[in-house]
Amino acid sequence: MAEKPGGYLGRVLRVNLGSEKITIEPLDHSILRKFVGGAGLGARYLYEEVPPSVEWSDPDNRLAFFSGPFGGTRYAGSGMISVVSKGPMTHMAGSSQANGFFGTFLKFSGFDGVIIQGAASDWKYLRIHDGTAELRDARDLLGRDTLETENIIRSRLDRQCSVYGIGPAGENLVRYAAIFGDHGHVAAHNGLGAVMGSKKLKAVAAERGHEKIEVADPERYAAAVKEFARKFHKMQHPLFQYGTADLVGLAKKLGWLPVKNYTTSEFPEFEKFTGESIRRNFKTKSTPCWACRKGHTCSIQIEEGPFAGFEGEEPDYEGVAAMGSLIGQTDPATTIYLCNMVDRLGMDINESGYVIAWLMECYEKGYLKKSDLDGVEMTWGNGGAVMEMLKKIAYRDGCGDLLAEGVKRASEKIGGEAADCAVYTLKGASPRTHDHRANWPELIDTCLSNTGTIEVTGGAPKPEELGLEPVKNPADPVEVSGMNAKLNGKGQFLDSLPLCRFCMQDFKSPIEALNIITGWDMDIAEAIDAGRRVVNQFRVFNFRHGLTKEMEAPSVRYGSTPSDGPAEGRAIMPQWNALRRNYYEQMGWDPETGKPLPETLKKLGLPDLIPGLSS
Ligand code: SF4
């Protein structure tokens, strides 16, 4: 086995819930420089251990939590964890990153990652601490929401810990159930909470153990951490001052604030929802993650009105949009309350928002009647009705049973005109809560990515960092798709460190830090190759699990032409086939099928995946 690089512990915890057997396995050092950690190692294990015959809810599906070489270091944002599995929304790869503390505490507990397989005979939670782990009875936690679950488990453990768990939605296998932890952080996409529920695993807790993380160059590390922190704390960005809800103003200006299920871009009340306005009108308190003093995440209190006395987490941009403009909600306090309700029930805020918005449009247009909705009046912005419906979904009660399948499956079942007004990609998941018809890079990314969400475009990638010229004509979707392909790899590399993207000063600084920690001499080109390796690893997994070219497209409404606002009249669909083909070509994939070409896989050091594409 190759020598262990700095930053890694070289140990993976494997938990079989069926047999209750817990083992510790060595991490193969020879694959670390290729896949790094986080999403990269998760992708590799997923491919090797989950064949196409395994469904998302089968005990043989894996749920992997991976930190990486940064976990346990003093770099800001290194508490991040990547969660990887075969997800129920797409029936393909799911990979979601959550900030907080788990990645670091997992390392302090002695492990680079945890792989969970099998299904428990009754509800359990997993406690990980100081080089070992145990399964504990969680039957008394059944029905508890995500925050209660976290708080109760915390109170039962002696040491400081990070707890990620599921709420009623995960227990009831709502397809878009998510995994929540560290007070408001979430692995949101592709129903990873439903996978956890299918295994009867209520939560995973990592204690702050005593393991020491050894870095390759301790002297340079101490100086580099200081310098990284100095530059990071000098970074001025409204996101740090006002949270990601600060994006509401920009989104409105550029036309990508989603309003009333994409029926308009007019939302005169948007100013009440900006991060600045929320922080001015509500009491907030900074709740930063491990080693980060930026504290753009906050807890929040509502002091007046019907929700006076409520305390919870400040919603991020996606929450504000999903439970605000997207569903026609004009009262910020109601939006804050609804966002917390979605989190505590344990569902992805994006899909929840699109389901509710779709119901409201169907109700307004008469495609669905009150009697179809168990008597709930789903008028635009009706907060009480939304609360009732969210509970129905989380408990699969009445009409909530169908809605728990997500907006694609629910709208297809209802059919007719109702089917055409649902926002989703044909792979099965809905996009992040943006009106991507005014943001083509993200629309293309969402439809062509492997994990059911954006992979290339998050965190404002900068072409110049990779020596590229910016897009000349943003109104040319084929050119835009080419830029997406050229930038692809950067996002998956960062998710493989894994490190919070908000902490990135540029693309060079995390690579330099990685080299100091590990002792490697990676450059930008090798980092991009590492990210592309992850992209292709997930892609081959997806083709083996049923991906076709036809699935890489938006639904009728998602790909429609805006009728007002800054993007009015801009149509992407006439060029969809051309842009998709261009993207495939530039990614080194077969332009007809989208499958990675053998030479692409060989170039990335993945020749072992070639046979997987023909089976
Ligand atoms: S920037 Fe925000 S999300 Fe990232 S580590 Fe800091 S507080 Fe957490």
Please give the average per-residue pLDDT across 532-559, as a whole number. Answer: 98
* Interacting residues of 66 by C-beta distance below 8 A, sequence separation 6+: 37, 38, 39, 41, 42, 81, 82, 84, 112, 113, 498
pLDDT band of 503, cuts 50, 70, 90: confident
Q: What is the CA radius of gyration of the chain?
A: 23
Asked if pLDDT for residue 458 goes beyond 90, the answer is no
Atom index in ligand 1 nearest the CA of residue 503 equals 1
Atom index in ligand 1 nearest the CA of residue 295 equals 7
Q: Burial of 467 by CB count in 10 Å (0-12 exposed, 13-18 middle, 19+ buried)?
A: exposed
Q: Burial of 393 by CB count in 10 Å (0-12 exposed, 13-18 middle, 19+ buried)?
A: buried
Give me ligand 1 centre to Cα 499, in Å: 10
Nearest CA to ligand 1 atom 5: 77
Single-letter amino acid, residue 614: S
User: Rounded to two decimals, what is the model's pTM?
Assistant: 0.97
Single-letter amino acid, residue 506: D
Single-letter amino acid, residue 294: K
pLDDT tens for 79-135 read 999 999 999 999 999 999 999 999 999 999 999 999 999 999 999 999 999 999 999
Pocket test for ligand 1, best of 182, 244, 296 (most atoms within 8 A of CB): 296
Structure confidence at residue 615 (pLDDT): 61
The single-letter DSSP state of residue 204 is E
pLDDT band of 390, cuts 50, 70, 90: very high
Mean pLDDT of the chain: 96
Give me ligand 1 centre to Cα 438, in Å: 27
Please give the average per-residue pLDDT across 579-583, as a whole number. Answer: 98
- In terms of residues, how long is the chain? 615
pLDDT tens for 200-254 read 999 999 999 999 999 999 999 999 999 988 888 888 788 888 999 999 999 999 9
pLDDT band of 490, cuts 50, 70, 90: very high
Give me ligand 1 centre to Cα 71, in Å: 14
Please give the average per-residue pLDDT across 24-29, as a whole number. Answer: 96
Please state, in angstroms and rounded to a whole number, the distance separating the CA atoms of residues 306 and 45. Answer: 49
Structure confidence at residue 282 (pLDDT): 97
Nearest CA to ligand 1 atom 8: 289
DSSP structure string for 300-311: EE--SGGGTT-E
Angle subtended by helix axes 146-156 and 332-345, to nearest 10? 60
Domains delineated in the chain:
11-207 (3.60.9.10), 240-420 (1.10.569.10), 436-504+523-614 (1.10.599.10)
Asked if pLDDT for residue 326 goes beyond 80, the answer is yes
Give me ligand 1 centre to Cα 80, in Å: 9
Structure confidence at residue 460 (pLDDT): 64
Atom index in ligand 1 nearest the CA of residue 185 equals 3
Structure confidence at residue 229 (pLDDT): 86
Please give the average per-residue pLDDT across 460-466, as a whole number. Answer: 81
pLDDT band of 307, cuts 50, 70, 90: very high
Structure confidence at residue 614 (pLDDT): 83
pLDDT band of 465, cuts 50, 70, 90: confident
The single-letter DSSP state of residue 591 is T
Cβ–Cβ < 8 Å for 355, 303? no
pLDDT tens for 550-561 read 999 999 999 999
Nearest CA to ligand 1 atom 2: 296
Please state, in angstroms and rounded to a whole number, the distance separating the CA atoms of residues 508 and 224. Answer: 13
Please give the average per-residue pLDDT across 30-53, as a whole number. Answer: 98
Structure confidence at residue 459 (pLDDT): 64
Asked if pLDDT for residue 1 goes beyond 60, the answer is no
Structure confidence at residue 275 (pLDDT): 95
Please state, in angstroms and rounded to a whole number, the distance separating the CA atoms of residues 344 and 170. Answer: 11
Nearest CA to ligand 1 atom 6: 292
* Interacting residues of 559 by C-beta distance below 8 A, sequence separation 6+: 437, 443, 553, 572, 573, 576
Pocket test for ligand 1, best of 74, 298, 502 (most atoms within 8 A of CB): 502
Q: Burial of 475 by CB count in 10 Å (0-12 exposed, 13-18 middle, 19+ buried)?
A: exposed
Give me ligand 1 centre to Cα 179, in Å: 18
Structure confidence at residue 105 (pLDDT): 98
* Ligand 1, CB cutoff 6 Å, lining residues: 76-77, 99, 288-289, 292, 294-297, 500, 502-503
Asked if pLDDT for residue 462 goes beyond 70, the answer is yes
pLDDT band of 457, cuts 50, 70, 90: confident
pLDDT tens for 158-192 read 899 999 999 999 999 999 999 999 999 999 999 99
Nearest CA to ligand 1 atom 1: 502
Give me ligand 1 centre to Cα 146, in Å: 20
Give me ligand 1 centre to Cα 285, in Å: 14
Atom index in ligand 1 nearest the CA of residue 77 equals 5
